[in-house]
Structure 1
Amino acid sequence: MIRSADTLFARLFGGALIAILLAHVLAFIWFTQYAPPPLREAPPESAQHHEPPGPPEDHGPRRPSPWRGPLTVMGFQLLTLVIAAWYGAKALSRPVRRISEAAERLSENLDSPPLEITGPREARNAAQTFNLMQQKIREQMQQRGRMLAAVSHDLRTPLSRLKLRVEKIDDPKLHAQMTQDLDDMINMLDATLSYLNEHRKNEVLQQLDLHSLIESLAENAQDNGDDVQYQGHCKPLKTQPMALRSCLHNLIDNALRYAGSVKIDIQDQANRVKISVIDHGPGIAPELHETVFEPFYRLEGSRNRNSGGVGMGMTIAREAAWRMGGELYLTQTPGGGLTAILDLPRA
């Protein structure tokens, strides 16, 4: 009986029952205290002749008090039921709100603290299930990382042996083709590990001079002989520095690979900061703007030996943007080309 009472249904039903009983009790007390007195019967005519004359009676019309009618009873009941409904709705929404907030924290950080197990039985069961789900997701992510790290480590050894054996091939064309294939495989392993490492990072928000970061990235690219220009100014932004650096680096590298030159435009708004990485390369068809964010996806036109890359740069960039609470999307550059827009919130 005690365990069955420790449920959300029992609490809501008990609260509603108490509210109904309290409404009737209060209405009964109020009605008995302030109800109009009962009408007295007129005395017989014989008794009327023997009564001494009293003061003259006022036979004017009397208005009944508004607090003495049935509306008072209904008012008490309505008030108590409204209060009970408010508390009941609050009791119902509290566990759902706690789970929703925990799910939002989990989407941002797999290592977020577990949900506190409190409340009625249904809420405690839901919290325990949620914590168990979080633990299993964390274990699966760790297991996936360990498995891929082990696979990449084990594959490096035979790939290194193959590269040594390729050096003994006398045919220059076959030697170049096999060397390129081996380099592509090694780059795919490196990109996979980089993606996993970036996905597992959980940085603390810090105040960052975004303008100085973009200036540094542009100067580094210019030192390597690349054409990278930037314009606009931005106030310091509270964000994840490593994630932002990784995102911008991949966007700039992708634009340089296919266009040869990049222009970075900074737009500082009241609540958001937009960073546009603009190129005038071959561009991408609008229907493929979302497809290029898939891991290891490369357009058919870019699948040549000289383009480089394994199709993970845009995936890593979008993952970094999501970790910062922002969005990354693509648009067409006026006059031809592709523009990657990084939209970051200030709060």
Structure 2
Amino acid sequence: MPFSLRPPRSLRHRLLLTMAVGVLAVQLIGNLIWAVQLQHQARQELTEAATQIAGSAAEAIRFFRALPPNYRPILLEQLREMGGTRFFVTVNQHPVTLRPIQHEPLLDLVTETVTHTIQRQSPERLQVAFAWPERLPVSDEGATVEDLPENWVAHTLLLQPRPAPVLVIQTEIESGDWLYLASVMPDPYFLDSHNPFPPDRLLLQVLTLVVVLLLSAWVVRWLTQPLAQLAAHADAFGKGVGMGPLPENSSQEFLKTAAVFREMQERIQRFLDDRERLFASISHDLRTPITRLKLRTELLDDETLKADYHEDLDELDMMVKGALQSVKDTDIHENQTTVRLDTLLERMAHVARLAGHEVTLDLAPTTLIARPLAIKRAIGNLLDNALRYGDQVEISLCRQADLFHLQLRDHGPGIPEAQLNQLFSPYTRLPHGKARNQQGMGLGLSIAKNIIHAHGGKLVLRNHPAGGLIAHIELPVPTDHTLTAASQGGA
């Protein structure tokens, strides 16, 4: 399966991710530029310093080569006691074996520069290397820096406050005599000073990133919290829950959006009220002329014609009653409150068992925010259908992630797959349903679906592989905002 990066779905997380990536990118580019410049500057400075040291070393080599051999010990004694040179100097019969510092590009640059500079002036055998002063050998007899008097090396080799790399130059000034020169660089701790990412700089980078992210988190929260409140108000409005006024201390753009949202709420509410009054009024007013027509039909002498009129009028009367029932059941005027759905199902199952039906339950404790009578009517319609056509019903209720899942399974004949979606249309009845219930109008499933949708849920019908029909309901788990609003509304 190919790997793909998906951006976070939350606006808050997207903004934080953008800020974090932006700051990291700026720091990375800045550090890269800084490292390149620092490396170039370090190489240039070290090349100049190495050239100067190499020049001094070349002069010392020429001087000791020109000095008579019997005068060399005297001069070395004077240099050790009185100083006056940047090198610690000694003469050995063989080159001293060192433990050079490995894998340091800056050290390699210095040794190469010193080697090339000295060899141009004195092409004799030459060895150049950096070594740490700890147990640094200074003679072919095995003596180390620690064995020397402090005043011999105090002015040439830096041992305190912490050791620095020592540059050791060895060259053969004549057969059997090797001149040993040791010194530190003009900047003894150049390896640290030219490190592009010292600990203090990394700490500063981390602190900068943390501060920027904290400020970004605060700003993003300040920007997105009103949007979350607006979404909660929109969701509550869709479910008929009052959430109070929106905050008025936010940005100007949010205040404009909130004002438009309030106007939209008012227009939708006026439309719903007008639709309800109009539909109920028309349906109610139609019953009077239908009754008059039935009375006038009784005056007809033709029995066949009278029966035809009665059949048409009965069908029309059933449609009007169904319309009134639909309005009554789906537009129940009650406030949303907390409902223990598992307790409600237990009561409904108890009533069904008293009527002689077989109902099995598998319920998890569930608290729902709903209109109690409406949700009871919706589930009651589904349960009545299941008991009427399936005799035995199995009910299960559980929670998965942010949804409650309620299933009612009967053991009836099921429904043809092609006709499952048609059952939610008003006045739709299948042949086997008409055979079992002559008085039904085909509104139960339509009403149940409308009520479930009004609660932000979903109702799906499907056949069970072993036979029977499953009514599957998904309802959203209430949020803290909804619970608070529902409790205030219930109070």
Partner of 1:182: 313
Q: State the partner residue of 1:142.
A: 273
Distance 1:176 1:215, change over 3 A: farther
2:345 aligned partner: 210
For residues 339 and 68 of structure 1, the distance between their equivalents in structure 2, rounded to whole angstroms, comes to 66
Match of 2:102 in 1: none
From 406, 410, 426, give the equivalent of 1:274.
406
Instruction: Kindly indicate whether the alpha-carbon contact (under 8 Å) linking 2:434 and 2:440 is maintained by their aligned counterparts in 1.
Output: no
Where does residue 167 of structure 1 map in the other structure? 298
8 Å CA contact 1:327–1:342 kept in 2: the answer is yes
CA distance in 1: counterparts of 2:218 and 2:364, whole angstroms: 45
Question: Aligned partner of 1:276: which letter?
Answer: L
How far is the alpha carbon of 1:310 from its aligned partner?
3.4
Aligned equivalent of 1:48: none
In structure 2, what is the Cα distance between the partners aligned to 1:113 and 1:288?
A: 44
What's the CA shift string for 1:63-121, capped at 9, x where partnerless? 3383676x677666545544444344334422332222222212211654343333010
* TM score, norm. by length of structure 2: 0.50
SS at match of 1:311: coil
Q: 2: CA distance between counterparts of 1:302 and 1:174?
A: 29
Alignment-derived partner of residue 4 in structure 1: none
Counterpart amino acid of residue 266 in structure 1: I
Question: Quick one: which of 239, 250, 264 aligns to 2:393?
Answer: 264
Moved more, 99-108 or 55-64: 55-64
**Which of 226, 250, 262 in structure 2 is aligned with 1:119?**
250
Q: Is the 8 A contact 2:238 2:454 kept in 1?
A: no
Is 2:241 the partner of 1:106?
no
Bigger shift: residues 99-108 or 78-87: 78-87
Measured against aligned partners, the alpha-carbon deviations of 1:125-177 in whole angstroms (never above 9, x if no partner) come to 11111111111111111110011111112211101111212223344444344
Q: Is the 8 A contact 1:117 1:128 kept in 2?
A: no
| Contact 2:352 2:359 survives alignment (8 Å) | no
Quote the sequence identity (%): 27
Alpha carbons of 1:206 and 1:79: their partners in 2 closer, same or farther (altered >3 Å)? closer
Structure of larger gyration radius? 2
Matches within 5 A, 1:214-253: 214-217=349-352, 219=354, 228-232=357-361, 234=363, 237-239=366-368, 240=370, 241-253=372-384
Runs of 5+ consecutive residues of structure 2 not aligned to the other structure: 1-14, 24-44, 46-83, 85-150, 159-183, 479-491
Aligned partner of 2:142 in structure 1 is none
CA–CA distance in structure 2, aligned partners of residues 210 and 231 of structure 1 = 11
Query: 1:212 deviation in Å?
Result: 2.3
Code of the aligned partner of 1:153: H
Change (3 A) 1:217 1:131: farther
Give, as a single letter, the amino acid of the residue that structure 1 aligns with 2:459: L
| Aligned residue number for residue 321 of structure 1 | 452
CA distance in 1, matches of 2:298, 2:347: 45
Are 1:199 and 2:330 counterparts? Answer: yes
Alpha-carbon distance between aligned partners in 2 of 1:96 and 1:159, rounded to the nearest angstrom: 52
Q: Secondary structure at the match of 1:109?
A: coil
Secondary structure of the residue aligned to 2:391 is strand
SS in 1 for 2:461: strand
Q: CA RMSD in A?
A: 4.3
Alpha-carbon offset, residue 340 of structure 1: 2.7
Task: Say whether the 8 Å CA contact 1:243–1:323 is kept in structure 2.
Answer: no
- 1:26 corresponds to which residue? none
- Counterpart pick for 2:425 among 273, 291, 294: 294
Change in Cα spacing, 1:288 to 1:155, as seen in structure 2 (3 Å) is same
- Check whether the contact 1:229–1:262 (CA below 8 A) recurs between aligned residues: yes
Aligned residues of 2:386 and 2:393 also touching (Cα < 8 A): no
Q: 1:78 to 1:235 in 2, by over 3 A?
A: closer
Q: Is the 8 A contact 1:99 1:127 kept in 2?
A: yes
Q: TM-score, normalised by structure 1?
A: 0.67
